[in-house]
A = this chain, B = another copy of it.
C-alpha cells in the first residue's frame, strides 16, 4: 500500500482518538502537513474505505477508523511512545510502599487505571509456578483445622478442613511436620505427586485425617488457583460512554463483573514479552465487542505468572495504553522478583 495512504490512515486514527469526532478531508490536510490537497486526501480516504479500513457514520460525515483500521494502525503505524521520566518515577513510588501481595496487586491495578484512564485488570500471580515455603496447620476446634499455605511469591492460601474425628495437639503437630517435610520447597505443580505418596509415611491412625487435609489442600492449590482478578477504573468507562458504546455500557460493566470473563480475557498464555491487543470485533466475548483489550503477561524473568491489562473503547490511544501496560507489567514483575511482597 502506498505510503501516503498509510499516512492518511494514521492521521485519521490519531485525530479521531483525540477529538472523538469523524475526521474530514479538509481539516486533515490542514492539520497534518501532508502536502496534498483535500481532494487528494478524499481519494485516498475513499480507497481506504473500500478496503475496509474506514467507515462513515453517515454519508455527509467524516471518516472513522474501523476495527480493521485500528488493527493496521497498531500493527504497522504506531510508534512506541516512551514513558516520561515523571511517569516512571510515579510508577515506582506508587508501587514501592506495598506491604503484601494483595497490596501489590491493588496498587498496580489502580496505577494502571490512572495511567491509561481506562479500566485496568490485574490477575493475581499464579500459584502454579511458585514453590511451597511453609505449611501451617492450626487447631481451630476439635475436629476442625485451618490449613495455611505460604508460597514464595508471598501468597497465602487458607482453607478450613473438617477432620471428622477430633485430634490431639500432638497429632496435629505430627501432621504439620509431615506436611512440611514432604512439601516445603516443592514446586506447586509437583504437589499432587508428592501428596499421593504421603499416606504411607505417617502413622496409621492419622491417615484418614491426612486424606481430608490433602483433598482440601489440592483443591485449594491446584483446582482453583488463579481465580482472582482485581479491577479498577470502571468510572473511566463513562468518560465518553455515549459516543463509544452504542446502547449503554451496561453489558460491558456486566461482563467486567464476572471473574470468569476477566480470567478468560487475561487467560491466554502470555509470556511477559508479547503483548496481545484485541480490537473490537476481535474479542471473543460478545459483550466486549465494542471495546479493545490490551494485555501482557508478567512475572519473574520471562516466565509469566499471570497477566494484566486494560479494557477501553476501541477508540483508545493504543501506543499510550501499550506502553503503560508494558511498563506496569515490568515493574510488577520486578517487585515479585525481589519479594517485598
Q: Hey, which bits of chain A sit against chain B, CB under 8 A?
A: 99-100, 133-134, 136, 138, 140, 144, 146, 148, 150, 152, 154, 156, 158-160, 220, 232-235, 237-239, 241, 248-250, 253-254, 257, 339-341
Contact = CB atoms under 8 A, between A and B. Distances in A.
Contacts of A140: 133, 152, 339
A339 B339 CA distance: 32
A59 to B, nearest CB: 29
A117 to B, nearest CB: 12
A241 B248 CA distance: 10
B159 A99 contact: yes
A140 B130 CA distance: 14
Given A136-B148, A146-B154, A249 B253 contact: no
Nearest to A98: B160
The 8 closest A-B pairs by CB, nearest first: A235-B253, A238-B250, A235-B254, A134-B138, A136-B136, A156-B158, A238-B248, A100-B158
Nearest to A237: B253
A234 B258 CA distance: 11
A284 to B, nearest CB: 20
Residue among A99, A235, A254, A340 facing the most chain B CB atoms (10 A cut-off): A235
Contacts of A341: 160
A156 B159 contact: no
Contacts of A232: 257
B148 A148 contact: yes
Given A136-B136, A220-B99, A238-B250, A148 B150 contact: yes
A138 B152 CA distance: 10
A238 B234 contact: no
18 contacts: A99-B160, A100-B159, A133-B140, A134-B136, A136-B148, A138-B150, A140-B152, A140-B339, A144-B339, A146-B150, A148-B148, A148-B156, A156-B156, A234-B234, A234-B257, A235-B250, A235-B253, A239-B250
Contacts of A148: 136, 148, 150, 156
Contacts of A249: 238
Contacts of A248: 238, 241
Contact of A253 (B152, B156, B234): B234
Residue among A156, A159, A241, A341 facing the most chain B CB atoms (10 A cut-off): A156
A283 to B, nearest CB: 18
Nearest to A341: B160
A140 B131 CA distance: 12
Given A99-B159, A140-B339, A146-B154, 20 more contacts: A99-B220, A100-B160, A133-B138, A133-B140, A133-B146, A134-B136, A134-B138, A136-B136, A144-B339, A146-B150, A154-B158, A154-B160, A156-B156, A160-B340, A160-B341, A233-B257, A234-B253, A238-B248, A238-B250, A239-B250
Contacts of A99: 159-160, 220
